[in-house]
Amino acid sequence: MLNAGLTVLGLSRFQFAMTTVFHFFFVPFSIGLAFVVAVMETMYVFNKDEAYKKMAQFWGKMFLYSFAVGVVTGIIQEFQFGMNWSEYSRFMGDIFGAPLAIEALAAFFMESTFIGLWMFTWERFKPGIHALFIWLVALGSSLSAVWILAANSFMQNPVGFAINKSTGRVVMTSFSAVVTNPQLWLELPHVLMGAGITASFVVAGCSAWRLLKKDHESFYRKSLNVALVIGLIASLGSIASGDFQTRYLINQQPMKFAAMEGLYKDSTNKGEWAIYSSFNTKQHKTTSSLDVPYVLNILSYHKLSGTVKGQNTVNKELHATYDKKFGKDMNYYVPTKTLFWSFRIMAVSGGLFALIAIVGLFFNRKKSQAIMKQRWFLYIMGLMLWLPFIVNTAGWFVTEFGRYPWVVYGLLTIADAVSPTSTVGSLLFTNIVYFLLFAGLGLVMIVLSHRVLKAGPDAVDMNGYSAEDTNGKVEDPYGTEAFNHD
Amino acid sequence: MTSLQILWFLLIGVLFSGFFFLEGFDFGIGMAVRFFGKNSAERDVIIQTIGPHWDGNEVWLITAGGAMFASFPMWYASLFSGYYLVLFLILVALIFRGVSFEFRANMKTATWRNFWEWAATLGSFCAAFLFGMMFTSMIEGVPMDAKGNIFGSFTTYVNWFSLVGGVAVSLMCFIHGLNFLQLKTLGTLRDRAQARNKLLYPVLIVGEVLFVVLLYISTDFFAQKPATTWSILIVLVLLTLIAWWGVLKAHNWTAFIASGLSLISVVVLIFNGLFPRVMIATNSAHSILIKDASSSPYTLHLMTIIAFSVLPIVLVYFIWSYWVFYKRLKSPKAA
């Protein structure tokens, strides 16, 4: 009962998934790239090496595109809680609105103001001060992650609340509990590390394509180094934080965990971990699987023994706990195939990112020309720039599908959250328009980034963000020489 | 109704005021790209006047939306779900104009530059128009059930009053944008913007009179609060006249501040008329009141502490960034 198809619920869910996934292509890319660019500019401040300044400007240009699309798709996120999920908004407003408002107040203002300053003041402030601007942008975007994930964490693991007896709505009783939600502090590092991976592997991938063409060797090799160092740290951090998060789920959201591991029955003490499984989701059965012993226990408990509850067991437990409130007909099984494969995409990619970063750094060491000779490796790295986007999406699939049937875990079902005023017709219309719009925006993004890449680092002259004036000559619109007050 | 609830009602008003003052001239500048700029070089300068700022200005909308969600979830839920398609169109308009500045600057062919210029202009116009339409139709009162769900028909959203409201707000934004352009440029752009606004102000005055007549017919503002409603309307007309005078005398600052304040006075008019309600239902028993729509005292208290400790810091760097770019831009030389 996934409410697929042309129902208000199905279309509302599709819309939320589509807008969020599209938005989240740009969010981690922007957060990570702000950080990567900040590192590059800081290296310029300390080394006085113009190459790093050029690097910050060159990759900064891609950051600006991504940021622009991130901003405009972000407004959809904020509005659609009220537009499509008004019952959710009424139920959750007391808790959910606060982090959202704080996010805007404490993070978005900082991000957007300092991005404006950063874009237009390359020649006006001392390099150290100018670098501070991009650090503040990076800080602002990370802060926004803190607050939006605080909101999401409450949906995963509600804390610091009570139910108002007369209205049946959630009320906040402890803000400190909401912001110290363990879910948040496990989710946040994983998201930030994922952002680091996204940006660094896109930079690395783009550099690899240019190196294959033997273009600006020194520039792209330096870029590659910065990217892969950050990429290595981020991928190791991502694996570690992912491990913490997964093990946290065993007790917190056992259904999600069981589905990630493709377990319907409880696991045996041997801890077989499935590399591959096929499922009969209707009959709640694993039809075949390729297992490796002990790995499940190592992943789950960091030891060889132990058992993990399967979905069938968890289903019974959930019925025992929630039948009074939600009725006997509730389906607690989550989309097993989606979770199982999404989790595997994440786990395998995490390792792959770390591996590629290590090998890349080795090939790219200063005195060696190895990286230029290992063309196969450059091809792999070039292709891998798309992978982080898939992996980020997979991560949210696990997190969000795995919470089914609830929108707020244990408190509110997805079906009860939708706007009663929505109609199939209007949702169909908006879904189609959004889809076309996103396809168009995505295409322009790719075309523009590709164009920047093709034009090369020498073409970027970042006095203003509109670098190419119609006359071909670029003039800093806010440079002192441009002004003479009459 | 507690004092915290009233405070947050006022704060939402303040945030929307900030939004209309700042994004008002952004929208105006966006419209000016094609409705005013004659060639590509002029349009470069027009866009550059808001280049470092438009993004920060839009955050006022996001903050207003977030603060409404946090402090008055019932209001947020009713308004946003009830105005589903209007808000959807606003989002589409904001998307087009939001990316247009960045994308336009990097287009190689004239066709695509034109495309993104029109995206900026029509996106800005539609966003301003639809916001005007939404708030106008909202104060007329909408068909609502007891739970606050709006079940409107086409004429709930689109009628003579809301159309006039939409046109009035977009015209005010356009004029405000041209006043900003006079403040931020030198040479022909500044002169032409002044000339254009000299013509537009009489049109706006006629529009405002029409708006007041329809306001009298379509809302209960004059019946409920005659004194304050009349006072605010007089202030609105006075500000419009002051701004007009500023345009005529080339007092750029006076004109700009007055046109900005006249946009704010529209927000004040709406919030004054709403009070003590947040949504007006055609069946007045279903109107949503401030006292019923808000979050818990705990959340309001928390949000108050946060707002009053963070907002001053934000204002410092926000205003500083305007100061950094306080320079007039040269108009391009005639080709």
Among the listed residues A198, A187, A347, the one whose alpha carbon sits nearest the alpha carbon of residue A260: A347
- Residue B295: which of A78, A93, A430 has the nearest Cβ? A93
Q: Is A79 exposed, middle or buried (0-12, 13-18, 19+ CB in 10 A)?
A: buried
Query: A467 to chain B: nearest residue by CA?
Result: B105
Distance between CA A3 and CA A63 in Å, rounded? 38
Span B87-131, pLDDT tens digits: 999 999 999 999 999 899 888 899 999 999 999 999 999 999 999
Chain B, 110-129: which have a CB under 8 Å from a chain A CB?
none
Span A260-275, pLDDT tens digits: 999 999 988 888 888 8
Distance from CA of A191 to the nearest CA of B (A): 22
Of A124-128, A457-461, A481-485, the one with minimum mean pLDDT is A481-485
Output the six-digit token pair for B38: 């004659």
Q: Is B145 exposed, middle or buried (0-12, 13-18, 19+ CB in 10 A)?
A: middle
Whether the CB-CB separation of A335 and A259 falls below 8 Å is answered with: yes
- B74 and chain A: CB distance < 8 Å anywhere? yes
Distance from CA of A392 to the nearest CA of B (A): 23
Judged against a pLDDT cut of 50, whether residue A216 lies above it is answered with yes
Whether the CB-CB separation of B194 and B250 falls below 8 Å is answered with: yes
DSSP codes joined into one string, A398-409: HHHHTTTTEEET
C-beta atoms of A74 and B62 within 8 A:
yes
Distance from CA of B1 to the nearest CA of A (A): 17
Per-residue model confidence (pLDDT) at position B249: 93
Question: In this structure, is the dihedral angle defined by the CA atoms of residues A73, A77, A80 and A82, taken in order, positive or negative?
Answer: negative
Q: Which long-range contacts (CB under 8 A, 24 or more apart) does B317-325 make?
A: B317/A109, B317/A110, B317/A113, B317/A114, B318/A109, B318/A113, B318/B56, B321/A113, B321/A114, B321/A116, B321/A117, B321/B52, B321/B53, B321/B56, B322/B53, B324/A117, B324/A121, B324/A124, B324/B52, B325/A116, B325/A120, B325/A478, B325/B52, B325/B53
List residues bridging with A171 in a β-sheet. Answer: A162
Q: Is B251 exposed, middle or buried (0-12, 13-18, 19+ CB in 10 A)?
A: middle
Distance between CA B171 and CA B201 in Å, rounded? 9
In a domain, B124, yes or no: yes
- A485 and chain B: CB distance < 8 Å anywhere? yes
Q: What is the interface size between A and B, counted as CB pairs within 8 Å? A: 254
Please report how many Cα atoms fall inside a 13 Å half-sphere around the Cα of residue B143, on the Cβ side. 8
Query: B53 to chain A: nearest residue by CA?
Result: A116
In a domain, B280, yes or no: yes
- A226 and chain B: CB distance < 8 Å anywhere? no
User: Which residues in chain A are closer than 8 Å to B303, comparing Cβ atoms?
Assistant: 98, 101
In a domain, B335, yes or no: no
Judged against a pLDDT cut of 90, whether residue A288 lies above it is answered with no
Span B68-78, pLDDT tens digits: 999 999 999 99
Task: Count the neighbouring beta carbons within 10 Å of the beta carbon of residue A168.
Answer: 10
In a domain, B34, yes or no: yes
Among the listed residues A324, A189, A194, A193, the one whose alpha carbon sits nearest the alpha carbon of residue A244: A189
Distance from CA of B279 to the nearest CA of A (A): 15
Output the six-digit token pair for A444: 């322009």
Query: A106 to chain B: nearest residue by CA?
Result: B310
User: Which residues in chain A are closer than 8 Å to B299, comparing Cβ atoms?
Assistant: 94-95, 97-98, 171-172
Whether the CB-CB separation of B5 and B291 falls below 8 Å is answered with: yes
User: Which residues in chain B are closer than 8 Å to A175, comparing Cβ atoms?
Assistant: 298, 302
Across A336-342, average pLDDT: 94
- pLDDT band per the 50, 70, 90 thresholds, residue A2: very low
Beta strands in A236-284 (DSSP E): 273-280
Across B153-182, average pLDDT: 95
Among the listed residues A348, A69, A28, the one whose alpha carbon sits nearest the alpha carbon of residue A192: A28
Which residues are CB-contacts of B239 (< 8 A; sequence separation ≥ 6)?
B258, B259, B261, B262, B265
Helix extents (H) in A48-85:
50-84
C-beta atoms of A75 and B58 within 8 A:
yes
- Residue B91: which of A76, A108, A113 has the nearest Cβ? A76
| Radius of gyration for chain A, computed over Cα atoms and rounded to the nearest angstrom | 24
- pLDDT band per the 50, 70, 90 thresholds, residue A306: confident
Of A164-168, A228-232, B297-301, B304-308, the one with minimum mean pLDDT is A164-168
Chain B, 282-301: which have a CB under 8 Å from a chain A CB?
295-296, 298-299
Span A154-191, pLDDT tens digits: 999 999 999 999 988 999 999 999 999 999 999 999 99
B326 against B8, higher pLDDT: B8
Distance between CA A434 and CA A422 in Å, rounded? 16
C-beta atoms of B92 and A71 within 8 A:
no
List residues bridging with A253 in a β-sheet. Answer: none
- pLDDT band per the 50, 70, 90 thresholds, residue A303: confident
Distance from CA of B181 to the nearest CA of A (A): 15
Name the average pLDDT for chain A: 90
State the total domains in chain B: 1
Q: In angstroms, what CA-CA distances link B86 with B127, B130, B180?
A: 10, 7, 28
C-beta atoms of B76 and A477 within 8 A:
no
Whether the CB-CB separation of B135 and B273 falls below 8 Å is answered with: no
C-beta atoms of A115 and B55 within 8 A:
yes
Judged against a pLDDT cut of 70, whether residue A485 lies above it is answered with no
Q: At B293, phi and psi to the nearest 5?
A: -90, -10
C-beta atoms of A71 and B98 within 8 A:
yes
C-beta atoms of B328 and A117 within 8 A:
no
In a domain, B130, yes or no: yes
C-beta atoms of B74 and A64 within 8 A:
no
Output the six-digit token pair for B98: 């939001």
User: Which residues in chain A are closer than 8 Å to B40, comparing Cβ atoms?
Assistant: 470
Per-residue model confidence (pLDDT) at position A476: 52
Chain A, 72-101: which have a CB under 8 Å from a chain B CB?
72-76, 78-79, 81-84, 86-87, 89-90, 92-98, 100-101
Query: A84 to chain B: nearest residue by CA?
Result: B81
Span A89-128, pLDDT tens digits: 999 999 999 999 999 999 999 999 999 999 988 888 999 9
Output the six-digit token pair for B264: 């704010």
Q: At A416, phi and psi to the nearest 5?
A: -85, -5
Per-residue model confidence (pLDDT) at position A473: 41
Query: B88 to chain A: nearest residue by CA?
Result: A430
- A451 and chain B: CB distance < 8 Å anywhere? yes
Distance from CA of B295 to the nearest CA of A (A): 5
Instruction: Report the interhelical angle of A109-120 vs B297-324 (nearest 10°).
Output: 10
Domain range for residue B161? 3-330
Among the listed residues B86, B157, B89, the one whose alpha carbon sits nearest the alpha carbon of residue B123: B89
In a domain, B325, yes or no: yes
DSSP codes joined into one string, A33-50: HHHHHHHHHHHHHHH--H
